[in-house]
Amino acid sequence: MLCSDVPDIPDVVVAALRSAGCVFAEDEARLIVSTARTPAELTAMVDRRAAGLPLEHVLGWAEFCGLRIAVEPGVFVPRRRTEFLVQQAVALAREAPLVVDLCCGSGAVGAALAASLPGAELHAADIDPAAVRCARRNVGEAHVYEGDLFAPLPSALRGRVDVLAANVPYVPTEEVGLLPPEARDHEPLGALDGGGDGLDILRRVTAEAARWLTPGGVLLVETSERQAPAARQAFADGGLVPRLAVSEELYSTVVIGTKPWSQNEAQNEAENKAQNEALVTSPPPSLCN
């Protein structure tokens, strides 16, 4: 873009955003000014942002993995930290994989995976009709279904999924009230509240994932660092071999579970894990005597 193409940012816009408490008022003003098509629209957008609407809902889009993802009011705003889940999935995927984006919201994860994995066949699903509508705008030719977790997926996908990405709600119920007002007041509770310890939906996904994955296929779910041990256990209980991936840069923790090729492999993994843990936790022999 030439410098002359950058629209002027009226001081009054920056001032309005700053006095409404927007910390990055200049950056936000630049985005709003470059998105508004008319002066009236600019005024309305600044008013909505000053009233506390998330910037992405005001703009109508969010940047995610270098893509511009349409985000409608009432739909969860994709977070930058979730780009780490996408990176992990891309690194693990085979050629032309079958990808499912469960709890897809705007479809950001699925859209990013499809953009990075040539030949991928993408299916996405969400329980919220607003999210489903929004995802359909973002995922092009992919199939988007409405319903509870796996229920709306075609049964023909069973046992064939290479990458199952599920950014489920994972905020413990009691902590929803502690979220920033932008999330608390403008994103649907069903996109945030993960139940008592935040892992209710994750456990429902891990309990069923192995039936949908192909051997060697992977389930990826984002959690918090604090929830990671319990989340890992849920993966193991669901017959998957779990491991953690952590990005300090993006403050992101992702549990990755692989469906073993055979029951034997699952058994060996469990035994190796138990042995490794025993090695770490046992005191050296000299201290035992």
The amino acid occupying position 240 is L
Residue 147 CB, shortest distance to ligand SAM, in Å, is 7
Q: Kindly state whether residue 128 participates in binding ligand SAM, applying the rule CB under 6 A.
A: yes
Binding mask 195-234 for ligand SAM (x = CB under 6 A): ------x---------------------------------
Q: Which of 148, 174, 175, 277 binds ligand SAM (CB under 6 A)?
A: 148
Part of the chain binding ligand SAM (CB under 6 A), chosen from 14-22, 124-132, 212-220, 248-256: 124-132
Residue 143 CB, shortest distance to ligand SAM, in Å, is 15
Strand-pair partners of 22: none
The amino acid occupying position 32 is I
**Closer to ligand SAM by Cβ: residue 121 or 128:** 128
Residue 149 CB, shortest distance to ligand SAM, in Å, is 4
Backbone CA torsion sign across 92, 64, 101, 268: positive
Strand-pair partners of 213: 161
Q: Kindly state whether residue 190 participates in binding ligand SAM, applying the rule CB under 6 A.
A: yes
User: CB count, 10 Å around CB of 220?
Assistant: 21
**Closer to ligand SAM by Cβ: residue 208 or 269:** 208
Q: Kindly state whether residue 82 participates in binding ligand SAM, applying the rule CB under 6 A.
A: yes
Q: What value, to the nearest 5°, has the Cα angle with vertex 52 and ends 46 and 56?
A: 70
Q: Kindly state whether residue 171 participates in binding ligand SAM, applying the rule CB under 6 A.
A: no
Compute the radius of gyration of the chain from its Cα atoms. Answer: 22
Q: Kindly state whether residue 99 participates in binding ligand SAM, applying the rule CB under 6 A.
A: no
**The two structure tokens encoding residue 91:** 């690194």
What span, in angstroms and rounded, lies between the C-alpha atoms of 105 and 70? 11
The amino acid occupying position 103 is C
Part of the chain binding ligand SAM (CB under 6 A), chosen from 12-20, 28-36, 74-82, 176-184: 74-82
Q: Which of 191, 218, 234, 254 binds ligand SAM (CB under 6 A)?
A: 191
SS3 content of the chain, % helix, strand, coil (to 5): 45, 20, 35
What span, in angstroms and rounded, lies between the C-alpha atoms of 218 and 259? 6
Distance of CA 12 to the CA centre of its chain: 36
- Residues forming contacts to ligand SAM in the complex (CB under 6 A) are 76, 78, 82, 103-106, 108-109, 126-128, 131, 148-149, 167-169, 190-191, 201
